[in-house]
Each structure stands twice: as structure tokens, then as C-alpha cells.
Amino acid sequence: MSDHLESLAVAAIKGLSMDGVQKANSGHPGMPMGMADIAVTLWTRFLKVDPRHPEWPDRDRFVLSNGHGSMLLYSLLHLSGLPITMDDLKNFRQWGSHTDGHPEIHQELGIEMTTGPLGQGFGTGVGMAIAEAHLQARLGSSLVDHRTFGFVSDGDLMEGISAETASLAGHLGLGKLIYFYDDNDISIDGSTDIAFSEDVQRRFEAVGWHVLDVDGHDRPAIAQATEAALGDAERPSLVICRTHIGHSSPNKQDTASAHGSPLGEDEIRLTKEAIGLPPDEQFHVPDGVYDFFSEAMQRGRDANDAWMSRRDEALTDPATADTWNAFFGSDPVVFDDPGFEVGASMATRASSGKLFGQIAEKAQNVIGGAADLVGSTKTVIDSGRLFSKDDRAARDIAFGVREHAMGTIVNGMAVHGGLRPYGATFFVFSDYMRPAVRLSALMGVPSIWVWTHDSIFLGEDGPTHQPVEHLASLRAMPNLRVIRPADAHEVVAAWEMALNHSDGPTALVLSRQNLPTLESTGDGATRGGYVVRDGSDASLVATGSEVHVALEAADELAATGVSVRVVSLPCWEVFFEQDEVYRSEVLGSGPIASLEAAATFGWQAITGSEGLNLGLDRFGASAPDDVLAEQFGFTPTAVAAKIAAWLA
């Protein structure tokens, strides 16, 4: 391989990155300049991608966890022949361009996962590696055999999520996961030693990683370390690359100012002179660089051609074709009637648990687990089997007490493709997962979040465990479906909605306490909201465990001559997707009240400015659930009295 062409490629990436940031007057030039040698080595010597088919299922995955350096990725994609044009580079961070400041995901352009929130990419890569290992065990190495590479930074390693996910990755022995650590000793506020002095090598070795240490500007040494990492099938690898931020800049190298500010035209001119680029020419790509990258990408093109031949041959076998379709097809999931008996009392977490047999059978690509709470969340696919070093085909994952890690690993499996992953914990601990939940919504990936113990009615554990504001805050998140089922029938609908929704995440919010299985629920849940009991004087809209309370309150009001319609609204987001005629038919033309054992914030969107919102705008208390219902006014009699007074 020509060292001269490699040097020109490194110079081209530095030049494009400097120019893109300068033209935008916004961005981060230091990291792309500091990691250019690592990037060229990885992309031209090792990475297996096909620019013709950026979404080829058996491609290597590349995660840019330090996504502030996105001009590095954009430059690589452009030079490699993926669909990032020179005009895209020139329109970095501009309206309508393909080159956002922090792009997250755009797989058809070659952007796998490039995170803004530091640490999220680190964890997502772990999820991708789990997905690869599981799919290989289920489909065979002739159809699934690739690696997950990633770039990570000091900031990624400072964030606590890296400790959680590194620990699990080491425990699981994810040998096809290789990260390159940009060890440049610089953060936004200055030298990292003001807050970060740990021994990174010993930290990662302690949790089971293979750790190597190289000069991040010595390309032969980087290649040698990568070969060594590829040779360790038992452990994930961290290649510590000692680099200089803003490398080659005469006055900005090794300074905090190189991190997040344009270098300035004068400094760019000096830097280009130092690396052999025309100093007054912007967005210059030296002769031979495009051909150099194109030749390197032939490795991926050949690999994809060979893979497609193997796949086509494999799919001539009907059983293999059926298995492949179970992972990569789009057949809808429809449950058989589980036989939930009207009048029977069952927590919605329990009715959800009783569906897992059908989930395992009808959705064979479902995989997931709980954060050390599987007995409480009732989320078991195959009892007695756990995904491990020795059983990659198992579908239950023990995440341990790692909600933060669980969230981002679930996203990684979803981003990878082929799997429908879920993560489960108590609803109040969704706070620990929120960055990952937000990214799942932003990226539009079909992660499934199973959250149980959904209200104050979990009882004696008290306010620390009782979610109050969580429904409102998560409903405020764009592109997240929040479903709070009223009973076992709505749970069936909720799981069908989740498993058949591919454009974003779904949250299933389930009760700890038993709820009656109602006669008239379920059929309308897939439209987000529907009439459970008709009435003419007013409408009472409820969710989850408050639907049966609303029905009993309506019975008490009927005895006094007041006719109240009861509406179950398990999913606001889907309800608001319905046409206005349907929504009006459901809500009725009279006054509207809401009932939910949670914060009332946001309910005005349903009840209007004149409506009545019955909820809990305070924290809960430690007491049995029936006592809490009495004290906080969530009994049928208390609700009926408030409705009567409001209508009077």
C-alpha cells in the first residue's frame, strides 16, 4: 500500500474537515484532524462496506460515538463513494443538508450511528455486537459474520454509561467489538487532567477487555494493533490511540480551542501548507485520493457479492427462507386469543407476561431482558436460557442493574437490524434510560420499552418508586408511542401495536396491582382511544388502572341520573393520528374530564380549557395501594362526587 497515497488521504480529510467547519462557522475540527490517521487506516485496510449498497446486512458497522467530529465521517463517506456529495460537505450544518452537526443515523448514506450525547454511541456499539452474535447463532456464519468498530473519546469514557456497557461487553466476551480511543488529553474546559486521571487501560482490562496502546498518528502501528484486536475472538478490544487534537495545526494543535471552534482562515492556510495542500484552495481533494479509496472499497464490494451468492443459495431451502423472513421480513404479528376471562383480576404486567409464549413463537426476532427485575417485569422469553458466551442463540439478556446501559444496548440491537429488542424495568427508572429513549425516538428505531409498576399504586415502596410526572414527560417526547393499557385485553392490543410499529419506539406502561379484565375493552385500543361506555352528559377519559375506576364512577353517577361516557385512551400519540371525525366521535360533544393517577400536565389537549383534570400533581406516599386510592381521591365514589360537583 502506498504510504504517499495514505498521507494524501489523511491530508484530504484534514482539509475537508477544516474547510467544512470554517464555512459553517460552526463545528469541531480538532477531532477529525486528530483521528484522520486512525480513520484512513481502518477504512482503507480493514472496514468491510459496499458503497453501492450502504445497508447491506452483513457489512461491518462503524460507530462514531464522539459524533461532534462528524466532518471526519462525512469526509470518509464522500471519499469512499457513499452518497455524501461535495455539495453536502460544503453545506455542513445547514438547513436541508445531509450533513448535520450530529447526524445520529442515516444508514442509506452510510451513517450507522453517530451520537451527539457522549457515551451513547459506545453503548449502542455493544448492542450492535450482541445483535451480530445472536443473529450468527440463529442464521449461521455464512449469512452473518461482521464486526463492529467504533471511535470513542475522553468524554465518552468519562460518561458513566461507558462503564456500564463496557462491563457487560466484557462479561459477554464480545470479541467482534473493537473501539479506537482518541486519547488526546483535551476536553472543552481544557486538559483532561483537571477531572480525569484514571488508568484507562487497567480499567478496561479489569472488566475483561483486550487493551492495546499505540501512537495514534503511526499508521503501521495502528494497523498492527487492529490485526491483534481482530485476532482476539474472546474479548472486546480497546485500542488506545495517543493523539494530538488539531493535529498539524501550527498554533492550535493540543489546545482546547481546537475542539469546538473553527481554526480561522489564517490558521487553516498555515496548516494546509504544513500538510501539502494548496493553502488558498477550499475543499481540495488531491489527485489519486478518490481512486485510492475506491480501490480500498473493492474489499467490501467483493464481500457483498460473495455474500449475496451465499444468501441466494441458502434461501432456496424453504426452512432457511422462513427463518430469514422471521428476522428480515415484514409479516404482521397477530396474537391468538389468550383466553383472558372477563372479571378476572390480573396486573397488566402479569397479562403481558402471559403473552410471552406467543411473542416467542410469533415474533422470533424478539430479544431482550430486564435490568435485574425480570421476576417483577414478567419479561421472560425462554426460562432457564440466557444470552452468554456459551449460548449466543438465547433470547433473554440479563442486563444486570444497568438501566442506562440497557437502553442504549437495546437501541444498538434495533439499529443493527433484524431484531425487535426490548428492555424492561420499573417505570420510575425510565429516568435512568431517558437519553437512550430520546435517541430511539429521534432516530425512529423500533425499540420497545417495557415499564412496570406504573403509578402510586405500587404502594409501600413509597414516592421514590412511584412515578408521577413520567407519563406527562414521556408523552412530550416526539415520536414515542406511550401505551398504558387498562386491562389484559388492551395489553394484547398494545403488544401487537408495538411489534407491528417499525418507525419509532413504543413504551408499554404496565401496572403492578391487579386490575379487573373488562368486557368491552381491547378492540378500539389500536386506534389509541375508544368509547368503553356511552353517555350523553359528559365524557370521562381515563388510562390504565383508572379506566375501571371511571366505569364504576359512571355507574354511581347513573344512579343519580347523570349519564357519563367513559373513554379509554391507552395511547395519546396514536389517537392524535386519527382523523378529526373519529376523535370527535370518541370524545363526544359535551364537557370532558380526565382521570389518571399521575400529573395532570398535558391533559388540557384532551379536555380543553373548560375541562376537569383529575390526577396527582404531587409526589405519592408510602402506604398500601387501597389506602393511597382513598387518600388521594381515586376511588369510584370520590371521582363520582368530583364529576357531579363539576357538572352542577
CATH number at residue 579: 3.40.50.920
Neighbours of 56 (CB within 10 A): 18
Q: Does residue 242 contact residue 183 with C-beta atoms inside 8 Å?
A: yes
Residue 247 and residue 382 in one domain: no
Residue 211 and residue 159 in one domain: yes
- Helix or strand run (H / E) with residue 373: none
Residue 144 and residue 14 in one domain: yes
Centroid of chain to Cα 18: 31
Q: Which of 83, 99, 119 is nearest to 32 (CA)?
A: 99
Q: Three-state DSSP class for 40? A: helix
Of 496, 516, 536, the residue at which a domain comes to its end is 516
Residue 495 and residue 535 in one domain: no
The two beta strands, 564-568 and 530-533, are antiparallel
Q: Three-state DSSP class for 137? A: helix
Task: Supply the DSSP symbol for 527.
Answer: G
Q: Does residue 317 contact residue 323 with C-beta atoms inside 8 Å?
A: no
Mean pLDDT within 368-373? 98
- Helix or strand run (H / E) with residue 38: helix 36-45
User: For the chain, how big is the Rg over CA atoms in Å?
Assistant: 27
Q: Kindly tell me the sign of the dihedral angle through the C-alpha atoms of 77, 79, 84, 90.
A: positive
Q: Per 3-state DSSP, what percentage of the chain is helix, strand, and coil (rounded to 5)?
A: 45, 15, 40
Task: Give the chain's domain count.
Answer: 3
Q: Which of 607, 617, 595, 612 is nearest to 647 (CA)?
A: 612
Helices (H), 213-339: 219-230, 257-260, 265-275, 289-314, 318-328
C-alpha 602/C-alpha 472 separation (Å) is 6
pLDDT tens track for 498-551: 999 999 999 999 999 999 999 988 789 999 999 999 999 999 999 999 999 999
Q: Is residue 325 part of a domain?
A: no
pLDDT higher than 60, residue 1? no
Q: Is residue 339 part of a domain?
A: no
pLDDT tens track for 24-65: 999 999 999 999 999 999 999 999 999 999 999 999 999 999
What are the cell numbers at 630? 382513598
> What is the residue-averaged pLDDT of the chain?
97
At 521 the pLDDT is 81
CATH of the domain at 445: 3.40.50.970
Question: Residue 311, by phi and psi: left (phi above 0), alpha (psi -120 to 50) or beta?
Answer: alpha
Residue 90 and residue 168 in one domain: yes
Residue 507 and residue 532 in one domain: no
Of 516, 550, 567, the residue at which a domain comes to its end is 516
Q: Which of 514, 632, 642, 489 is nearest to 570 (CA)?
A: 489
Residue 614 pairs with which residues in a beta bridge?
595
Q: What is the largest CA-CA distance in the chain?
A: 90
Q: Which amino acid is residue 156, in one-letter code? A: D
C-alpha 2/C-alpha 347 separation (Å) is 66
Residue 253 pLDDT class (50, 70, 90 cuts): very high
C-alpha 177/C-alpha 210 separation (Å) is 10
Residue 457 and residue 546 in one domain: no
What are the cell numbers at 12? 484530504
pLDDT tens track for 455-512: 999 999 999 999 999 999 999 999 999 999 999 999 999 999 999 999 999 999 999 9
At 329 the pLDDT is 94
Centroid of chain to Cα 132: 17
C-alpha 52/C-alpha 82 separation (Å) is 7
Strand order of the sheet with strand 506-509? 396-398, 366-370, 420-426, 448-452, 506-509, 481-483
Question: Residue 260, by phi and psi: left (phi above 0), alpha (psi -120 to 50) or beta?
Answer: alpha
Q: Is residue 209 part of a domain?
A: yes
C-alpha 21/C-alpha 94 separation (Å) is 11
Q: Is residue 320 part of a domain?
A: no
Mean pLDDT within 607-628? 97
C-alpha 396/C-alpha 401 separation (Å) is 15
pLDDT tens track for 111-161: 999 888 999 999 999 999 999 999 999 999 999 999 999 999 999 999 999
- Helix or strand run (H / E) with residue 357: helix 356-362
pLDDT tens track for 440-459: 999 999 999 999 999 999 99
Q: Is residue 27 part of a domain?
A: yes
State what percent of residues in the chain have pLDDT above 90. 97
Q: Kindly tell me the sign of the dihedral angle through the C-alpha atoms of 377, 382, 385, 390.
A: negative
pLDDT tens track for 294-351: 999 999 999 999 999 999 999 999 999 999 999 999 999 999 999 999 999 999 999 9
Residue 121 and residue 64 in one domain: yes
Q: For 310-346, give one letter per residue: b (16+ CB within 10 A) or e.
A: ebeebeeeeebeebbebbeeeeebebeeeebeeeeeb
What residue numbers bound the domain in which 20 lies?
3-303
Question: Residue 104, by phi and psi: left (phi above 0), alpha (psi -120 to 50) or beta?
Answer: left
Residue 496 and residue 602 in one domain: no
Of 516, 538, 571, the residue at which a domain comes to its end is 516
Q: Is residue 229 part of a domain?
A: yes
Mean pLDDT within 582-589? 97
Residue 530 pairs with which residues in a beta bridge?
568
C-alpha 58/C-alpha 132 separation (Å) is 9
Q: Is residue 453 part of a domain?
A: yes
C-alpha 167/C-alpha 533 separation (Å) is 51
Residue 246 and residue 387 in one domain: no
C-alpha 403/C-alpha 277 separation (Å) is 48
Residue 468 and residue 556 in one domain: no
Residue 541 and residue 489 in one domain: no
DSSP result, 409-420: HHHHHHHHSS-E
Phi/psi of residue 151, nearest 5 degrees: -105, 130
> Which residues have a catalytic role annotated?
403
Q: Is residue 442 part of a domain?
A: yes
What are the cell numbers at 625? 395501594
